[in-house]
Structure 1
């Protein structure tokens, strides 16, 4: 038996579906990945779909391992910029859960559009009724397409503005503890109002990987209470000797800053690893 595969259609359909799934996971799991990275991850999944379509005789083990393990993990890494094994498994689980839910919704919708379904009458009206010589479905498509384009353009402009402001807030920070220093990227966080409750000292935040490299063993840990949308708890914080902040030609030093340790990366895209409070006193 000879099969004719329209590889462009296979790629386009799977690309669209993978992009929807990755967008849902990105929003639900709060990865804040950029659209370009989501498209890259979706394209990777679409390429694998084309491979399985072109080679239908592929052994079941290879197909299953590629579909349910390797490709899902690669999509998560490419789309969300994550590296830790635990986080990759979490993202892959989210991808497959979103795929199952969206697949079920599409199956229900397709059944209702078929003869005898609840939406059959609506589909017939969209195809047969005409306004100004064009089917109602065409007008609906034009209206929805225009609305989607306007919404997408507004989101793109807003994202561009946010990216511009975020880049302006990026800085170069050098942390020093004893005779050891570490230089990395930081962000001047105007929304950070975290303070140590007893002394009122402002609390900066650094990713755990940075702190473990700078000072794997420390004394005098302070626990700082925090409250966020995701809940509340305590952050372990240590006092460093100094932090040197360089931004747009200016340079200042924070003496004996209190730095809390974040277990998760502060930026999924890896743009920065330290959050600097703009309210701290420079010297």
Structure 2
């Protein structure tokens, strides 16, 4: 059976590009198209090892894992190990769904192909059939991901939160946010983001004045107001990045403790930082705090 090199490259390049694009989408990670093109090309070139018997050692399990890791690095350049392995896991999951959809289509149609060292090569693939398998995989991924997201959006990820500071308490509802990876740069304590209006009663009137009527807090003013006061030891500045915001900064405070209740189980957390957010976190008002996943 004849396997055409140009078909091998085209098939793998298209599939890799779609899989990486979906990894970017479901991983909520922005990247440049040129990086996806480069990573897809690397994955497509890897399949060419079939044509070079002296390079068949590259088909080992370790080399396949290494290649997939390199693809993720080229495509997304994750700066943290946690983010890297999260994207790698999503990449593998989507790849498995695509592989299953592809084999199902091959089984029920008249595709011809061979399997060599764990890689499937087809000989009579057409653009129509390739789009069919991609479309089927995309539908499956969206259905499964939508179901998972729907399950995660239920009440089980909403938790009652009580913040204690200087004898004062406030109670609010928090949402466990898997995308919240903020930590205090000084202590590495996890950060919980809370709407200012939900915790206004915890702050002295001098600090309240620095927030009221201002879109963004005045960091210099807050620092001056707290100098030579017990609150100065609680003060933190938390850097963050978000879509449309680079080199952002949040004012944070170390509370006495935070009580988190879920399913009638109460967890007392002392090593935590509260970051104050001036705007609303939820348009519907369902929650007023974003909990770091490490807290639960």
TM range (shorter): 0.3 to 0.5
> Taking structure 1 as the reference length, what is the TM-score of the superposition?
0.43
